[in-house]
Structure 1
Amino acid sequence: MGRYCIILFLILAANLCFGQAPFRLSFHHLTREEGLSNNNVFCLLRDSRGFIWLGTANGLNRFDGTTCRVYKPDNANIDGTDIKNIVEDQSGNLWIGTENGLSKYDRKTDKFTSIPAPGHEKHFLSFPYCVDNKGLIWIKFSGNKSKGLYTYNPRTRQYIFVTAEISENLPRHQNDTFQEVRAIHCGNRNDLGINKIILKDNKVVKIESFLDGKKNQPAFSNIGYYACPDGDSIVWAGGLTDGLIKINTNKKTVRIFNQFQEKPLDTQLSHIVKFKHYLIIGSAKGLYFFDTIAEQFVQILTHSASIPSSLSANWNETPYLDRDQNLFISQLGFGVDFTNLNHHNVEQWLSQADCLKYGLADNHVSHLVQRNSQTWTKMLGAGTVVLDSNGKILRNYKLHSVILKDSKNRIWLSKKGEWIIVNTDNIIVKRINTKDLGLPADGLHFVIETSAGKYLAAYDRLFEILENGKKFKANPIDDLKKEGLLDCHPMLYDSLNQQVFLSANWWSGFYVLRKKMDHWMFLKRPDLQFRVFWIAMAFEKSKIWLCTDKGLALMDTKTFTYRLFTEKDGLPDNIVTNIVPEKNGNYWLVTNRGIAHYDRKLNEYRNYTGRDGADSKEYDWYGNFILPDGRAVFGGNNGLTVIDPRANQTYYVKPKIQVTDFFVNERSVRQPAYAGELAEVQPERNQSSFGFDLAGIEFGFPQKVKLQYKLGGIDKRWISVGNPASARYTDIPAGTYEFMARALDETGKLSSPVKSIRVVIQAPFWRTIWFRTILVSIFIGLGYIFFRIRLTQIQSDTKYKEQVKHIRAQAEINALRSQMNPHFIFNCMNTIDSYIFLSKTIQASEFLQKFSKLVRLILEYSRQEYISIQDDIHALELYIQLEQERGSYAFSYEISVHETLTKNEYLIPSMLFQPFVENAILHGLRHKKEEAGAFFINITTRNNQLICSIIDNGIGRIAAGRINLSRKHQSKSLGLKLTEDRILKINEIYPKQAYLKITDILTETDSGTIVEIGLPLLTFENIKS
């Protein structure tokens, strides 16, 4: 008997356990207001990139957790707007069935392709069922020519028929993808019962039928549409108005479960998904949870107008569960609700339903006080509620607000004009009239106990309350009044140093008080660069925590120096409003991102948000605490959040970073590849401003996800932004950059691989190397052309100037030559005159013949600029012979010409040597007395020059000069001077090629003169050139 009692007790305990609500879920909502194209959602799919695809009655939607992108025939090549089902293949491409055909979505190009049906039938209804391990697409067609189930090979583009023994509407396949299809559970072709179609090698081996009206079974219609296989032999199905169907295909048994909390379900169940050992079932009355181990319904979630995080409606059509245990519920006409099933052990006390049940006006908690395992909760505008350790309301002080638990374990409460003190038996032991103590009737902010029987009360001023037995006294702290302090809260008493820290003037000032001579005196105002919202003792001695708007500060209570911890140190958020320290050095934080727990050993934070069941959007600052069993209690605008950190139900989903669009000059650019698949982008020239749209895909609480991005070479650090976000860059110099983006989870940890895109900014054409090369080439070409033109001009000018100079020199030479000839003729005529005067007619005749011949040559040569060397020597010999005949002195001569000059017709200026020969005879040889005179003429070449040397043994230039000075009329050699000028003019025409050098011979035995004349070596050819 005892054994049976124990068994019965265990069964009852199990039933009670299973009967408890296993899920506390907070839902997010996606409707047309959030961008959904239609509120009737028929099918859902989470793809490998993290996007949720939603098939609606009016288009296909892609949802990244915050925004929707809609695909319709008018903006994409998709075959229809009424989406029937979606599957994904191994390449990440999607196959979408509609009422009007089958479409393939290419994830790399973000484009759709129409896939023809078997027999090329047009306008057919298609239903992609799954993708198997061989990459075959299993598709059900409902056309006239192509009715039935087929496999489609995307590589060969060929269909293979499988069977026609299937219902019009297949259940949505949610088993593991890319597996061999061994069985399909669906209705028969008349939508009756459930067929188990057994397959091998994609061929039908056997069909087992259940609940089709045969074999003494009842007939149920449309249940195959809601079939959910559970292993090889169990099939669950909805579709009935009176229960959940369980079929064991091996045992051929059928069971129907139609009771919830000992009452009939009385509603039609729809689609089913399995999570662990629970079935999650949609219905027209809410979302049911069925425990497959206990085989009973354990919970129903419904819509509540007073709870925004509840289901948006009760008509739950299609539940969908992704690989991260995100649960999506399509609501008929109300869009989609979504949440995550992997939650922490978070309880919500004092919900709005509880407030309605107990007659509370509001569930906004503004202050908490802990006494043992009880929670004294100050409700905003609803008094104080006392809860036990399970959140059950014990009593309600409707008009009083809890303010303090003192060292005697008493609770202090206040209302306008009155304080009351409640002992451990919840008996009021003292009522205090605030007017009797000189306290304001209202406006109490905070009370702390500094020592037994001594308290500080913060109104807009600070008062010390003294308790002596049953008497109380209040003393204002005037020292603070001098400081102009108002609104003195929060406060913390430091018993080790006997000082009080307080924040005042709406947290803009931080002050330290110390007691001297039984009076609280103002000690110090540390210079802080932040507001202080809350103060708590730290784990380390002589340290306190300051919760601020710039982070979490750890201050030394003796030196008042501090260290500020921020998001860079791993803090979830820089705005910290409350801290609850634990004895082991861990602590809880309330930040702008929710509740966070710090693990000192791991040195990391864990955030608790709405997806964990922490439903309050904001939490109050005062009195959050830890229960004796370790649970943390936080008050907020939606009741109390109670978190049990001991629960080993860790949940961690890594948000995925996605690039959802690419912009150039703030205009979306349609790339050949989808933005999320891009490895490189290259805007056109003159486009240096670009950007990316980013999304961190996480469906539990996407707004808590942080995104970071940077452009290599431009951004020195990662830029942190919210989710979603846009990264924009303007006027980026030409070059190649790497754009990187990543997602961080709500704790600030890097949670997804870095997305990297190569960005190539092309320089404007005027900055390109080829343009600069062309430009430089043009400038060089123009410079060269200008140089050539200028050079031609300079050469032309130089040539013109040389021609003018040549003409002028030639004219001067001719003039000199015309001056020389009369001089020589004058001297010859004097000689003839001398012969006639001396009656030497024969000599005169001979001389006259020679003279006439010489004159004829001179006249002939005077018309020529250059004559041959032979002609010049012939004329020169005639002149020398005439000088020998007419002179009274004797001399001899010799002329030597180099053989090369006789062979070639070399030219010299006419009669150039004659003046030097004349000067040698008249001024050198004529005055020689002792011996006969002589001179030698040598014409040769040297260094490509013609050299003529005239050497005489006359008296020399010095002696000739003395003779010339002794004369009454000094003679001047006009011919010699003219010849020297001719040589200078020749040197102007032929630079550095003509010269005259005269050397005197002065020895003890010899005298004379050497004349050396250098001329250019000229021929007829080079004179012409």
Structure 2
Amino acid sequence: MIKKICLLILLCVTFLINAQEPVFVHFSEKNGLPDKEFYDLIEDSKGFVWLAADKGLFRYDGKAYKKYTNELQRSSSIFNLQEDNLGRIWCNNVSGQFFYLQGNKLELFIDFSKELKGQLADFIVKGNYLWIIGQYKIYKINLKTKIVEFDYTNSNQTFGKPFKLEDEVYIGNSNFIFKINSQNEFKVSTNVNLPTRDKKGKRLNIYKLIIFKIGSNLFFRQKRSGINQYFKLSENKISKLDIIKELKNERIYDQFVTGNEVWFATATGIWVYELINESFKLQKRFLKNKNITKIVKDTEDNYWFTTLNNGIYIVPNINIENVNISEENKNISSLDRINNNTLVFGNTKGNVGFYDVSKNKLNIIKLPTSDRVSALKYQVNNNTTYISKDFYSYTINNKTLKVSTFKYFTTAKSLTSIDDNKLLFTTNNSVRILQDEQFEENIFDSIQRGKRTYASHYNKPKKAVFIAYIDNLIQYDSLWKAKPIIYKSKPIYVKSITETSNGIVWVSTFKDGIYGIKNERVIQHYSTKNGLTSNNIGVIKADKNKLWIALENSIQLLDVNTKELQTLTKRDGIVSYDVSGIEILKNKVYFSSNEGLFSINKKEPFKSPNPNIYFTEVEINEKDTLITSNYDLSYNQNAIKIGFNVNGYLYNEKNRYKYRLIGFNDTWLTTDIHVNSVKYNSLPAGNYIFQVQPVSEKEVTKDKIKSIKFKINKPFWKAWWFVLGGFVLLFGSTIIYFNRKIKIEEKEKLAELEKISLEKELMSINLTALRSQMNPHFIFNALNSIQDLILKEDTEASYDYIVMFANLVRNTLNYSSQDFISIEKELDFLKLYLQLEKLRFGDLFNYSINYDKNEYLEVPSLIIQPFIENALVHGLMHKSGNKELHINFDFTESILRCTITDNGVGRKKAEEIRQRQGSHHEPFALRAIKKRLEIFKEQYSENIGYVIEDLIENEIAKGTKVILTMPFKKRF
């Protein structure tokens, strides 16, 4: 046994008052926000967000900002946004101008600069009237006539902002609260009757009265002699509430009420108070030191916060909160639950934190060493937290917060409580049990040592232990008998283990999703195929019969009974996906990560998307047109572009659209993210219905489909009457035309046949003439060779030459009358000719003929020999040393190619020799062959002819290559 060494070291403990705050997304000029200074914000009935800024009026549709101006506008800054019952957006400026948006244009309604004299007035549009609330005067203006029908003046008391409650409007000053009723009548509602002087009789400096409502009661706040005071209105009676000390002297721009909470927008950020027994209790504070001018909650439950100099902040999910932890202690590596109010965590800096969620207190204990906390576990029986680090280990007494060293407890991969008095300790090479702060050494003797572990879990009802090793998952019974858990004959590679109330043990994996295990076998499997956003799963945690899942790209909640999966991502406010631990305290789920500690409220963590889609543009032939539900277009108006959008924060950042054009393609297609338009080019004539619908995580209903109908008419020449008339005219004309043409065509046909016959006869005559021209030429050259041998007195060679020559002449005479001969005869003819030439050239001359004998062809007669003769006479005859000649045949389905290669002196040298010898004409044989090939080309319409290439190496002639392409016939 290992003796525990207690140092009883009480280290420095830092106590921090630490509130949780929502997770914000910051909009600034860097990411497209058109200004940084904002005074007001509203969401209209169509889902557009309107921004009143120093630079003007802007509309945000979830994708882009659009600015609205008026040419008569004297000040760019815009204030006091509101929507009237006709859906028009109203605003004003410090120059006394009041505007409204009509269609897509900002219209000036009235210029009240003379009356207001530089005041920034409040106003409200009610029914057919515009009510302007100046500092000391109220005006009632008819919207149709622009006539002031009523005004009320109070020269001593300033009026506050109007507060609309159902169909009535309340406006207050120091003496009275006035009411504009449903008939647009201005009346006194309540006598305020608050003192206007202090106890010494000095007149109080009283500011505007601001009315708001909490629950069923009206309240108002008023700054009196520099102090913000709060009052309750009840049955025409006014009762003063306790002063909110933190906001006593603050500048308050706006207040927002949600439930029983009041959120105050101030020059020092957001202050959230809950009204308890007519007293305001501070709940949280965030966006400190930011000048917050307006708080708005939109229809998708996003919270918007405008500022005077920092752009706009948005909370996409108020149910996700971040715990303020110093940057040094943010990277949390391990998390555990102590009780319903307290969490304990360790971080990569080696420190341990205790977080009391009920008191919002965080105590950071700096341990003696700075190595990472690999795992920690709270043991109930001795009220002790065991801390395993990379190189050292400690215990902390949770009551006294005293730290003690603890040996041989380092580098834990997992710590699991067994029966409240034992601690299962697994590392990268061992598994042990700690009981009464000592290790029992003999329990795991039968287990293979040296295996890395990842996670462990204890099933109390069956007294079974699950341990995830590097190569498999093992379940141990109460006697520590091991049984591997296999799925489809393969091991399961596990990262995290938990258990739901229904007795199913759930395991997460590196690449295969999550598995549900019961009675030693897998009974459920979830992956990307049935709802997970990734198969690479991190930490999982059971909450009764629900399962919280941390994935590499989201956090999901699985209801194991209904099998419903819900998803949260960073766009919803998730701080990080690098989750190291999950713990559940009452109605919140806490996640530790590399970015600290954040929580999700279990009551309403997921939003129910309700996207409303609308059309933003219709372009026909690249020209904007008025958006309607039905279009009747001409045949050439067939290039159509359709734009669409869903308002709301970040819809277009993570969701897509489905669309189809019925009549063209009935299949639903899906856009890419950020794509809000579809274009069709050159649509044929017909009837079409374009349909589009938003797509989010849950399938939308059919009533979300928006449609536009198109009819593209046929051109007049395709109309039935035009086609029928044209057919009759064409048919009649055709009869007349062909009656007149038949005789002419018959005569032309007879003339054409006679012409073709003459051309064929001419081609045949030309071929015969060419062969007769070539044969005497060859005989002349052959007799010259015989003469040379006779003069050399080589009698035997002369005799052999004469016999071969006779055979060659006989074959020449036989073949010259035929257009095609078998390739075997042609090859025999060439071999005979080359044998004769070898007698003349001697042993220095070598030749080869390569041909695939499996092919039986007929080729043009006596067409190859002149090229061979040309190579011998002009190329090889003048070369000293070895003389090489190679003949190769290859063919395709339509042509035969013969390649003749020699290593002679080359064409340039041969030409020089020919010029010295006084020969200035083209060789006869080649001229004859060229003409013959032209005739073949006319007959067979193939790429027939020859190409001569010079073989040059290092600028020295190495011979000549002739590529002859000729027709052939296959013999079957």
TM bucket normalised to smaller? 0.5 to 0.7
- 1:531/1:548 contact within 8 Å kept: yes
> Is 1:790 aligned to 2:738, yes or no?
yes
> Is 1:337 aligned to 2:334, yes or no?
no
In 2, Cα distance between equivalents of 1:68 and 1:446: 51
In 2, Cα distance between equivalents of 1:429 and 1:148: 73
SS at match of 1:175: strand
Aligned position for 2:100: 104
> Is 1:365 aligned to 2:332, yes or no?
yes
Aligned position for 2:611: 656
Aligned position for 2:825: none
Q: 2:472 aligns with which of 511, 524, 536?
A: 511
Structure whose CA Rg is larger: 1
**1:244-643 alignment to 2 at 5 Å?**
244=229, 246=231, 258-260=243-245, 265-289=248-272, 294-299=277-282, 310-311=286-287, 313-320=289-296, 327-339=303-315, 343-344=318-319, 349=323, 351-352=324-325, 355=326, 361-370=328-337, 375-387=343-355, 390=358, 392-393=361-362, 396=365, 398=367, 399=369, 401=373, 403=375, 405=377, 412-420=386-394, 431-433=406-408, 445-446=413-414, 457-459=426-428, 462-465=429-432, 489-490=454-455, 502=468, 511-512=472-473, 534-537=496-499, 544-546=506-508, 552-554=514-516, 563-564=525-526, 566=528, 576-583=537-544, 585-591=545-551, 595-599=555-559, 604=564, 617-626=575-584, 632-642=589-599
| CA distance 1:34–1:478, shift in 2 (3 Å) | same
Could you list the per-position Cα deviations for residues 906-937 of structure 1 after superposition, in whole angstroms to 9, with x for gaps in the alignment?
Answer: xxxxxxxxxxxxxxxxxxxxxxxxxxxxxxxx
* Identity among equivalent pairs (%): 13
Q: 2:139 aligns with which of 136, 141, 149?
A: 149
Aligned position for 1:115: 109
Aligned position for 2:694: 742
| CA distance 1:479–1:206, shift in 2 (3 Å) | closer
**1:756 CA drift (Å):** 0.6
- 1:661/1:692 contact within 8 Å kept: yes
Could you list the per-position Cα deviations for residues 649-700 of structure 1 after superposition, in whole angstroms to 9, with x for gaps in the alignment?
Answer: 7885644334474475997x64424xxxx645789846556453533525xx
In 1, Cα distance between equivalents of 2:561 and 2:392: 47
**1:53 CA drift (Å):** 1.0
Equivalent pairs, count: 706
**1:336 CA drift (Å):** 3.0
In 1, Cα distance between equivalents of 2:18 and 2:385: 34
**1:45 CA drift (Å):** 1.9
**1:56 CA drift (Å):** 1.3
So what's the TM-score if we normalise by structure 2? 0.58
- 2:373/2:390 contact within 8 Å kept: no
**1:754 CA drift (Å):** 0.7
- What letter matches 1:129 in structure 2? F
In 1, Cα distance between equivalents of 2:33 and 2:422: 63
| CA distance 1:780–1:125, shift in 2 (3 Å) | farther
In 2, Cα distance between equivalents of 1:683 and 1:31: 44
**1:770 CA drift (Å):** 3.2
Aligned position for 2:835: none
Could you list the per-position Cα deviations for residues 393-421 of structure 1 after superposition, in whole angstroms to 9, with x for gaps in the alignment?
Answer: 56736236252549996755333444456
In 1, Cα distance between equivalents of 2:262 and 2:518: 55
In 1, Cα distance between equivalents of 2:378 and 2:120: 72
SS at match of 2:329: coil
Could you list the per-position Cα deviations for residues 91-124 of structure 1 after superposition, in whole angstroms to 9, with x for gaps in the alignment?
Answer: 3222333447443324xx4344443569999999
> Is 1:692 aligned to 2:652, yes or no?
no
**1:432 CA drift (Å):** 3.6
Identify the range of structure 1 (223-232 vs 44-53) with the bigger mean alpha-carbon deviation. 223-232
Aligned position for 1:138: 130
**1:761 CA drift (Å):** 7.3
**1:774 CA drift (Å):** 5.0
Could you list the per-position Cα deviations for residues 477-508 of structure 1 after superposition, in whole angstroms to 9, with x for gaps in the alignment?
Answer: 99899xxx9x763566889798966475xxxx
**1:47 CA drift (Å):** 0.8
Aligned position for 2:227: 242
Q: 1:756 aligns with which of 692, 703, 706?
A: 706
In 2, Cα distance between equivalents of 1:416 and 1:111: 66
- What letter matches 1:742 in structure 2? P
| CA distance 1:369–1:650, shift in 2 (3 Å) | closer
| CA distance 1:769–1:293, shift in 2 (3 Å) | farther
In 2, Cα distance between equivalents of 1:777 and 1:594: 68
Aligned position for 1:710: 659
| CA distance 1:43–1:165, shift in 2 (3 Å) | farther
So what's the TM-score if we normalise by structure 1? 0.55
- 1:533/1:547 contact within 8 Å kept: yes
**1:337 CA drift (Å):** 3.2
- What letter matches 1:657 in structure 2? N
| CA distance 1:221–1:493, shift in 2 (3 Å) | closer
**1:580 CA drift (Å):** 1.1
**1:41 CA drift (Å):** 1.7
Aligned position for 1:914: none
SS at match of 1:224: strand
Which structure dedicates a bigger proportion of its chain to strand?
A: 2
| CA distance 1:382–1:115, shift in 2 (3 Å) | same
SS at match of 1:33: helix
Query: Bigger relative contact order, structure 1 or 2, given CA contacts below 8 A and separation 6+?
Result: 2
In 2, Cα distance between equivalents of 1:529 and 1:710: 44
Could you list the per-position Cα deviations for residues 309-347 of structure 1 after superposition, in whole angstroms to 9, with x for gaps in the alignment?
Answer: x4274323344456777554332222333448x955x77
SS at match of 1:784: helix
Could you list the per-position Cα deviations for residues 114-152 of structure 1 after superposition, in whole angstroms to 9, with x for gaps in the alignment?
Answer: 4356999999999673333xx324242989xxx962333
SS at match of 1:223: strand
| CA distance 1:476–1:620, shift in 2 (3 Å) | farther
| CA distance 1:383–1:256, shift in 2 (3 Å) | closer
Q: Structure 2 unaligned runs (5+)?
A: 1-16, 747-972
Aligned position for 1:56: 53
**1:367 CA drift (Å):** 1.6
- 1:194/1:223 contact within 8 Å kept: no
**1:48 CA drift (Å):** 0.8
In 2, Cα distance between equivalents of 1:697 and 1:316: 21
In 1, Cα distance between equivalents of 2:138 and 2:395: 79
Q: 1:672 aligns with which of 622, 626, 640?
A: 626
**1:446 CA drift (Å):** 4.6
Aligned position for 1:919: none
**1:257 CA drift (Å):** 5.8
In 2, Cα distance between equivalents of 1:470 and 1:364: 31
> Is 1:770 aligned to 2:718, yes or no?
yes
> Is 1:175 aligned to 2:164, yes or no?
yes
| CA distance 1:725–1:165, shift in 2 (3 Å) | farther
**1:62 CA drift (Å):** 1.8
In 2, Cα distance between equivalents of 1:560 and 1:142: 73
SS at match of 1:361: helix
In 1, Cα distance between equivalents of 2:264 and 2:520: 62
| CA distance 1:246–1:408, shift in 2 (3 Å) | closer
